[in-house]
Structures are given as structure tokens and as C-alpha cells.
Structure 1
Amino acid sequence: MNTARHHGMDWLRIGAFGLLILYHIGMYFVPWGWHVKIAQPLDWVQLPMLATNGWRLPLLFLVSGYASAALFAKLGGSGAFVRSRSARLLIPLAFGILVVIPPQPWIELVTQHGYAKSLGTFWFGDYFRFGTLDGIVLPTWQHLWFVVYLWVYTMLAAAVLAWVPAATRAKVADGAAQLLGGWRLLALPLLWWLLLLALFPDHEETHALFDDGPSHLHYLMPFFIGWLFRVRPAMFDAVARWWRVALLVSVAAFAVVATILCLWLSGAQPPEWGRAAFDIAHQVQGWTMIVALVGIADRFWNRDHSKRAMLAEAVFPFYIVHQTIIVVVGWYLLRAGVGALPSFLILVAATVTGCWLFYRIGRSIGWLRPLIGLQRK
């Protein structure tokens, strides 16, 4: 393994989390179901949302796999790796469930289910019912499902690394890197996703861990490919040769997705028309865009900057708190009847400001640092 830090992957991780925050702001405007919605959702917002929908979460798992492999190499053993990952993921997860998340289901219940109790009464009463309330499971991890899944995947990786001999692991990594060399890096993972689509055509992600098997099969692949990029950096050679092709294919695939969506929105075709083509193009666009972004990061972003370390540290605290800020501010905007454009600008400004304050205050107080996902000083 090349021990040199790949700054491009750092920037890709920062960008992936930043995009996730912007995507969740968009959820306030799009017609899809969410915790709080603008009074008159905008159909056209589905187009930019779908442009990222197929790859933003798998990309997060890929860069997380890369970072996990780097951490394992730094710590030098499965035991230390398990302790480190558990502390950095489970402590902020518990803090998020107990403190950060509760306003989200309360606002959803108030705006969409006619719930009449105050936030305080809900928080210290109904929230900890360990059951459902109007179909909403309480307590809940909401957007922090990603943290749960990432912890499970890292524990799976640690178990494999602990029980499989080093020589065998090296042979498997060599074989996987060879298998995914050249054009196969584009084709084989995509074929896996298309196979899952054929086997589970009606599966919808639950984010509930135990009943989400097809989603795990979908996300484990980019997680372990990200890990493989770290332990076999020669794979970046294949990306360097093929990322431009991947980008062109991704743009063409999204053109199919956008065309079919526009036909549906215009009523030109019945809802059943084009479903298979839409789903296939969506998967093609997703994986090829990930390869293209890794190639762009490797080619253009593999350089350091004075703000990189700070931004890399800040993205996890930003992730923990961002959705609660969006939902709370969106609720006030809904009650005030604010229009779409000013609502978007206010949400962006409020979310960035709130996330930044959460990070800056939390990092400056020693006992708060582990709660927001930072190491102790």
C-alpha cells in the first residue's frame, strides 16, 4: 500500500457531504414525501435532484471505505480499529438520536398528522415510546442511518481482517484489483447493481438496518471498492484511463432519465411507460458518475490547501446537525408563507451558519468533541 495521503479523495469526501446537505435542502421543495414541505412543491426540482440521486450516497460509502482503510493502516490492527470506529460513530449517533433528531419527527407529526402536543411534551414523552406514532417509529435515527450502516460495514471489514490470514487477504486484494482493472471497473460494479435491480425490482430503502438487505448489497460494493482503492492504489490507473468515458456515459444516461421524467410530468405517456428504461439509466448514470468523480479528484484535486484539514474535520459535525436545521427553519418558513426562492436562500444561509456554529462551538469544548464526532484533544 502507498502510504501517501490522497488529497483528492479528501476533497471528494468534503464535496460529497456538502452535496448531501444541499440535496436535503432541495427535499423541502420537491414533491417527494419528507418531514416538512413547502406549501406548493415544484415539479421541476426533481430534475436536479435526480441528477445526483443515483450516486451521492454510494459515493459517500466509497469515500468512507477509502478513509476506513487508511485508518486501519494507521492503527495497525482490528482491535484498535474497532474501538476507534465505534467511538467516532456510535457516540455521536447516540447524541444525535437523543438530542439532535427529536424536532424532526415532532414537526412531521405537527404538519402532516395533526399532532397537538408541544415539543417538550413530545421529547420527554412520546419520543421514547419505542414504538410507532402515526406510522413513525420512535425514537428514530432519521438521516443518521448512514452512520449506522457505516458502522456495521466497518465492523464487517474488521471481522474479515481479524480472521482471514494476511497472505490470503493480500491475494484477495490483488485478485480484486486485477478483476476491476481497465474497463471492467466501469462494467462489473454496474452489472452488480443491474442484477440487484432485476432481483429486487420493487425494493424501497427503509434505512431500518434489518429489513434493508438489497440496500446493503447495493452500498457494500462501493464501500469495499473504496477500501480497495486505498490498499491497491494502482486502481487509480484504470480510473485515469476511463473517467472521461465514464463521464460521457453518465451524461447520456441522465439524458434518458430526464427525458422520461419530463414525459411523465407532461402526461405524454402513462406512468408505466419507460419504467425499466428509467431504472436502468438511473443505475448506469450512478456508477459511471462515481468513476468520473474519482477520476476528476485524482487528476485535478490531489493537492493540499490550508483549509483542507479543517473542512475534512467539519463535515461530520455538519452532517449530524444539518437536517434538523433544515427541517426547523423550513417549518418556520412554511408557517410564514415564504415563497420558493427566498425560502431556498434562507435555508442555505441558515443551514451553513447553524452547521458552522455547531462545529465551532463543539470543537472548542473538550467534552462536546466526542459527541459531535471529533477526536478528544
Structure 2
Amino acid sequence: MQRRNDLDALRVFALLLLIPYHVAMAYVAEWDFHLKSSHTVEWLQWPMIALNRWRMPLLFIISGIALGLALPAKGRWRFALRRSWTLLLPLLFGIVAVVSLQAYCEAVDNGGVMPGLWAFLWRYWQFRPWPGAGFAGAGFGFTWNHLWYLAYLIPYSLLLIALATLLRPLRFAVPRGSPSDRTVALLGLLVPVAWLAWTVLYLLPRHPPTHALVHDAFVHAESLPLFALGFLAARWQRGWELVLRWRRTTLALALLAMSVELGIRALGRLPGVEGLDPWVLALPWATSERLARALYTWTALLALFGWARAWLDRPFRWLPYAREAVFCIYVLHQTVLILLLYALRPLALGPWLEPLLVLAGTFALCVLLHEGLIRRSALLRPLFGVRPPRRATRPGDAPTAAGASMARPTSP
């Protein structure tokens, strides 16, 4: 099966974007993070909000598309088990050997444990609740931090594969009408925006994100439908043509909605606004901001897919390597940046040099670890989600099952 180069490239950029985003989390004022720099600034909140609205929805919808493109007609349960193991192994290894280093830095920084890495790891690897340890997840005894994305992909994938298999006999009962492009485009805009608006208006205030898989109603309500939508739209050629055709409109709507949301937030900080009766502000300000947020999230996703189809649908020479490396970099990046910040912060390098070193060092060390160690080790490759190297074939050889599977989009 032919690869979607635009989706592969967009996935690479989306995962690499996590590096500057999580580095910035250490420097943005008033936002919690596992380890904070002493050089925090408030202005970083604005670009962070603009990115935050679509960065994880983009990854979930791309993962759904990849699953929809890769799902075979036969052997779906074997495929489901193989995919689950491909995701579960890096998650488990990450909890034990990668994210545990983040927990150590966070716990020592918070004063919850005494310095001493091996003593910390020995206690951490017992996976018992650790009250007062001072790291995210201490109440459970372990944490997956940024790897929560993998923990959510596994049940989402199994659910969609099961539903697709069970409902497969009903596919011929679906009406074959052909509504106009304008009708499809209008419904494709309004229905997802209405759903996202309900999640941010109703669920988000009552169920803030936990990323703990359980008791995370808002994240599931936002992420699972996007994952399912990507799965359903993966092979819908007409839909992709409409996304490409309307990319300028969706980009304009996204910029307008972003401006409205950020503008309302900025107005809320003007002198005098805080003194108004909150009941007066509740409906026009809070509701308008969240409606703009929902519109921005969905139109930004549509614009990203449309412009990616226009600009990135070509076989870039760097893409095969980046496609393999980026998942490994995703697993490593937050731990590497926290270790770098933990080491550099006592040096008092200043508000410019320190973040630049953390950013450049995180990217460089992740690439070096992937290139120099992980991709060259048959033992480490599956632990970081890197596929086995493709076996070279001679001219005339029949394609093997393993070789054919390499043509499918990688997960997540």
C-alpha cells in the first residue's frame, strides 16, 4: 500500500514540536511542570495556548488515520495484538527506565526525597504508593508523564478495531447518497465544532484533564472521537479533496478564532474588568472564549491537513529516516530536557543561554541516542518503538509479509 507522505511528514513535525513545547513549559510563568526554571516569563503563555489547542488533537487524529490505513481485511485480531504490543512495550519500558529519571529530578526538587538516584529507583521500582514523594503519580507509585499518549492509544485502537470488525457486515446497509460538496463541508465543520464546544463548555470545568486514563472524561471526550474520526476518514478520498480545496478558508477561520480566544483572554486582564460582577461576565466572556476555542481547534486541524496535502505530499529524502527516529525521540525527549535543566539550573546561565542550551541539547542528545545506540541495537529498538531493519531483497524476490507490513503507516 502506498504511503501518505503528507501524513508521515505532518506526524514527524507534530512529534518534534513536543520538544520546544515541553521546553517552554519549564519557562512559562504560572503553569505547573515537573521541573521549572527560575527564568519564567508570562508572555510565553500566548504562543503556548495557540499550540496547545491542536497539538494533541492532531496526534490523536493522525493515529486514527494510520490505524484506518493499516487495518487489514483479514487477521484483524492478530493485527490488534501486534499493534497493542508495539505500543505497550515502549510504555512499560518508559515507565521503568526513562520516565523514572524525570520522577527523581522532580521529587528531589520538591524536597520529597533525599538525593540518591539508586535508592530512589529501588523504591520506585516496587510500584507501591509513595505518599509525600513529591512527583507526579506518587500516589500510584509510578508515573508515565508524557507517555500518557501511548496509554490512551492502546484501548482506543482495540475499541476501534473491535467496532470495525463487529459492524463490518452493516457497511452495505449505509445509504449511498451523494450530498453536495457544500453540504459535506458545512456538516464537516459544524458537527465537530459543536461536539468540541460541548466538551469545553460542560466537561472541562467539571472534569479537568488528569492524563491518568481513569477519571479523565474531558480528554477522552475530546481525543477518542478525533481518533475515531481519523480512522473513519482515512480512506475517504472525497473528504481529503475537500480538505485540500478549503484549506485557505479553514486557515482564515482558524486565525480568526484564535484571535478571538486570545483577545478575550487579554481583555479579561485589562484593569477594571476584574472588578465587574462575575455573573455579568460569565456568559458573554467565558462562553465566547470557549466557543472560539472549539472553532479554533477544529479549523486548525483542517487547515493543517489541507496545507500538508498541498506542500508535503512528496517523497522527501529525509522522511524515511525521520519517520523511524521521531517516535524514539518522542519517548526520550522530556526526560532528556528535564535532566539537562536539572544539571544546568545551578550554573545560573541566564534567561537566554539556559533555555537555548536545554532546547538544542534535548534535540541533539535525542538524535545521538537514537542514531548511536538505539537503532543499532536489536534489543533496544522494540523498547523505543523502532521497527526491525528491513531485510534487503534481491531483484526478483517475492515480497515477504514483513516487507509488506513496512508499507503500512507506523504507529502511533
1:156 paired residue number: 159
1:212 paired residue number: 216
Residue type of the alignment partner of 1:249: L
Q: CA contact under 8 A between 1:100 and 1:321: conserved in structure 2? A: yes
2:253 maps to which of 249, 254, 275:
249
Say whether residues 1:185 and 2:188 are aligned partners: yes
Residue type of the alignment partner of 2:230: G
Structure 1 Cα separation of the partners of residues 260 and 221 of structure 2: 25
Q: CA contact under 8 A between 2:243 and 2:306: conserved in structure 1? A: yes
Q: CA contact under 8 A between 2:324 and 2:387: conserved in structure 1? A: no
Say whether residues 1:376 and 2:388 are aligned partners: yes
Structure 1 Cα separation of the partners of residues 50 and 202 of structure 2: 24
Residue type of the alignment partner of 1:320: V
Per the TM alignment, residue 65 of structure 1 is displaced from its structure 2 partner at its CA by 0.8
> For residues 151 and 323 of structure 1, do their structure 2 counterparts lie closer, same or farther at Cα, with a shift above 3 Å needed?
same
Structure 2 Cα separation of the partners of residues 246 and 206 of structure 1: 31
Say whether residues 1:87 and 2:85 are aligned partners: yes
The secondary structure found in structure 2 opposite 1:200 is: helix
Structure 2 Cα separation of the partners of residues 107 and 148 of structure 1: 23
1:68-87 alignment runs, 5 A limit: 68-73=67-72, 76-87=74-85
Q: In the TM superposition, what whole-angstrom CA distance separates every residue of 1:94-132 from its partner, at most 9, and x where no partner exists?
A: 110010011212211222245324121111114534214
The secondary structure found in structure 1 opposite 2:234 is: helix
1:125-204 alignment runs, 5 A limit: 125-126=123-124, 128-134=126-132, 136-137=136-137, 138-164=141-167, 166-169=168-171, 181-202=184-205, 203-204=207-208
Q: CA contact under 8 A between 1:182 and 1:241: conserved in structure 2? A: no
Structure 1 Cα separation of the partners of residues 40 and 377 of structure 2: 40
2:332 paired residue number: 321
Per the TM alignment, residue 41 of structure 1 is displaced from its structure 2 partner at its CA by 1.3
> For residues 40 and 270 of structure 1, do their structure 2 counterparts lie closer, same or farther at Cα, with a shift above 3 Å needed?
farther
> For residues 358 and 216 of structure 1, do their structure 2 counterparts lie closer, same or farther at Cα, with a shift above 3 Å needed?
same
Structure 2 Cα separation of the partners of residues 267 and 82 of structure 1: 56
Q: Which runs of 5+ in 1 are unaligned?
A: none
> For residues 174 and 371 of structure 1, do their structure 2 counterparts lie closer, same or farther at Cα, with a shift above 3 Å needed?
farther
Structure 1 stretch displaced more, 129-138 or 252-261: 129-138
Residue type of the alignment partner of 1:168: L
Structure 1 Cα separation of the partners of residues 348 and 96 of structure 2: 31
1:106 paired residue number: 104
Structure 1 Cα separation of the partners of residues 114 and 103 of structure 2: 13
Structure 1 Cα separation of the partners of residues 43 and 4 of structure 2: 37
Structure 2 Cα separation of the partners of residues 256 and 89 of structure 1: 38
Q: In the TM superposition, what whole-angstrom CA distance separates every residue of 1:173-213 from its partner, at most 9, and x where no partner exists?
A: 97899998222222111111112223314121101111112
Q: In the TM superposition, what whole-angstrom CA distance separates every residue of 1:137-158 from its partner, at most 9, and x where no partner exists?
A: 2211111000010111111112
2:321 maps to which of 310, 335, 339:
310
1:243-282 alignment runs, 5 A limit: 243-265=247-269, 267=271, 269-270=273-274, 273=281, 274-282=285-293
2:397 paired residue number: none
> For residues 283 and 76 of structure 1, do their structure 2 counterparts lie closer, same or farther at Cα, with a shift above 3 Å needed?
same
The secondary structure found in structure 1 opposite 2:37 is: coil
CA RMSD of aligned residues (A): 2.4
1:33 paired residue number: 32
Residue type of the alignment partner of 1:161: A
| Structure with greater Cα Rg | 2
1:342 paired residue number: 353
Q: Which runs of 5+ in 2 are unaligned?
A: 390-412
Residue type of the alignment partner of 1:338: L
Q: In proportion to residue count, which structure has more helix?
A: 1
Say whether residues 1:238 and 2:242 are aligned partners: yes
Q: CA contact under 8 A between 1:88 and 1:374: conserved in structure 2? A: no
Say whether residues 1:283 and 2:285 are aligned partners: no
Q: CA contact under 8 A between 1:325 and 1:354: conserved in structure 2? A: yes
> For residues 154 and 222 of structure 1, do their structure 2 counterparts lie closer, same or farther at Cα, with a shift above 3 Å needed?
same
Structure 2 Cα separation of the partners of residues 344 and 250 of structure 1: 30
Structure 1 Cα separation of the partners of residues 355 and 95 of structure 2: 27
2:394 paired residue number: none
Residue type of the alignment partner of 1:348: L
Structure 2 Cα separation of the partners of residues 167 and 296 of structure 1: 35
Structure 1 Cα separation of the partners of residues 64 and 178 of structure 2: 15
Q: CA contact under 8 A between 2:201 and 2:290: conserved in structure 1? A: no
Q: In the TM superposition, what whole-angstrom CA distance separates every residue of 1:264-305 from its partner, at most 9, and x where no partner exists?
A: 455553296533332222222111100000000111211111
Per the TM alignment, residue 254 of structure 1 is displaced from its structure 2 partner at its CA by 1.2
Say whether residues 1:53 and 2:52 are aligned partners: yes
Structure 2 Cα separation of the partners of residues 97 and 287 of structure 1: 32
2:12 paired residue number: 14
Q: CA contact under 8 A between 1:62 and 1:223: conserved in structure 2? A: yes
Q: In the TM superposition, what whole-angstrom CA distance separates every residue of 1:47-91 from its partner, at most 9, and x where no partner exists?
A: 111111110000000111111122213x74312321221221011
- Find runs of 4+ consecutive structure 1 residues off by over 6 angstroms: 173-180
- How many residues of Structure 1 are paired with residues of Structure 2 in the alignment? 373
Structure 1 stretch displaced more, 291-300 or 112-121: 112-121
Structure 1 stretch displaced more, 110-119 or 341-350: 110-119
1:358 paired residue number: 369
Residue type of the alignment partner of 1:77: G
Structure 2 Cα separation of the partners of residues 87 and 277 of structure 1: 43
Per the TM alignment, residue 26 of structure 1 is displaced from its structure 2 partner at its CA by 0.8
